[in-house]
Amino acid sequence: MSPRALPLIFAALLGAAATTASAQIHEQLEEALDISRMLLAPPPGVDQAFGAYQRGFYLTALRLALPRALDDDAAAQTLIAEIYANGLGVAQNLPAAVEWYERADANGDIQASFQLALIYQTGQGVPQDRERAAELFAKAAEAGHVEARYNLGLLHVEGTYAEPSLTRAAELIGAAAEAGYPEAQYDLAVMLLEGAGIAPDTNRALNLMEEAASQGLVEAQVEYATLLYMGARGARDAQGAALWYGTAAQAGNPVAQVRYALMLAAGEGVDVDIATAAMYRSLARRQGLTDPQLDQMLRGIDPDALAQGEERARFWPGQPPRPGTGSNLDATS
């Protein structure tokens, strides 16, 4: 190769590199322009509609979603159905909600399938059709919808609109429990305690019950408190029981209110507090639950403490007005 040829080859390579660099710069500029277009003037679509929905601009969400919904976009159809089903920014219109859910279900939206199943299950806005509900629960469950799996599991327990099978129920409810669904955690815990459709496992049941209780499921809080009081984890845990009974009592559960009142009156697992015990007794009575043992424990107690408890029950979950204020102040005041 002659010395004269080298500059020509180098120039060709340099030109190719320059062309490549120019192409890369052009691509980067196009990307920047695309980003600018999205930020400054995003095209209308479901994401924008959903953003408006999340911010409470329901009419805007409806306006943005409608063109996409009419073009068979399943997510947009489900969004519109939610707006009509819940009367968000518009008058509640269950027939319209069902129509849009049906369209979205036909287009493969599993949330629409699940919501439609709930509607047919209860007969809200449509004639009740539990067979159709079971089909839709199964469809959504197969696609991985957690709550649909749980509801389908319940249908297998019932055994009318799905094959009677506690084993299959335990599988479906177990899958929902593994996904963290508290109702499923509670029900699976009960099945594990009883050995219903699944091998008994007390430790796993207790752990699931505690998880459900920690997520705020009141039924689990009451049941877990009872299990702790009965010594399901070994020795009786009165403090743990009082904690969970107290949590459920504050949430308004009458059984928990009576049991927590008993513990407060006896000072078991918690300091004696007659006024609070009297308050919870009154609250439970208001819901139709009485307890002779609790009545006996509070008989003959300081009438001022009892009166204080009754007064607090009148203003629960807040506190009675402070003298001279004439206002109802909450517990944090």
State which residues form the domain around 249: 243-333
Q: Tell me the DSSP string of 206-225.
A: HHHHHHHHHTT-HHHHHHHH
Beta-carbon-side half-sphere exposure of residue 159 (alpha carbons within 13 Å): 5
Find the mean pLDDT for residues 122-145: 97
Query: Is 73 a member of any domain?
Result: yes
What is the model's pTM?
0.80
- pLDDT for residue 321: 66
Domain count, the chain: 2
Q: Does position 292 have pLDDT exceeding 50, yes or no?
A: yes
**Distance in angstroms (rounded) separating the CA atoms of residues 44 and 52:** 11
Alpha-carbon distance values, 294 to 93, 102, 274, 277, 325 (Å): 48, 53, 11, 9, 34
pLDDT digit string, tens, across residues 143-174: 999 999 999 999 999 999 999 999 999 999 99
Both tokens assigned to 254: 């009458």
Please say whether the beta carbons of 228 and 244 come within 8 A.
yes
pLDDT digit string, tens, across residues 187-196: 999 999 999 9
Query: Is 291 a member of any domain?
Result: yes
Query: Is 37 a member of any domain?
Result: no
The least confident of 158-162, 195-199, 307-311 is 307-311
Top-confidence residue, 3 or 70 = 70
Query: Is 327 a member of any domain?
Result: yes
Please say whether the beta carbons of 206 and 227 come within 8 A.
yes
- The overall average pLDDT reported for the chain is 87
Count other C-beta atoms under 10 Å from residue 293's C-beta: 11
Query: Is 305 a member of any domain?
Result: yes
Share of the chain above pLDDT 70, in %: 82
Please say whether the beta carbons of 265 and 297 come within 8 A.
yes
Give 317's pLDDT tier (boundaries 50, 70, 90). confident
Query: Is 178 a member of any domain?
Result: no
Alpha-carbon distance values, 232 to 197, 205, 206, 218 (Å): 21, 10, 8, 19
Please say whether the beta carbons of 209 and 189 come within 8 A.
yes
Please say which residue of 96, 115, 134 terminates a domain. Answer: 115
* Peptide bond before residue 182 is cis, with ω within 30 degrees of 0: no
Please say which residue of 71, 97, 115 terminates a domain. Answer: 115
**Distance in angstroms (rounded) separating the CA atoms of residues 221 and 214:** 8
Query: Is 181 a member of any domain?
Result: no
- pLDDT for residue 301: 86
Find the mean pLDDT for residues 21-26: 47
- pLDDT for residue 73: 97
Please say which residue of 67, 100, 115 terminates a domain. Answer: 115
The least confident of 27-31, 99-103, 186-190 is 27-31
- pLDDT for residue 20: 41
Q: Does position 74 have pLDDT exceeding 50, yes or no?
A: yes
- pLDDT for residue 328: 40
Top-confidence residue, 1 or 11 = 1
Give 46's pLDDT tier (boundaries 50, 70, 90). low
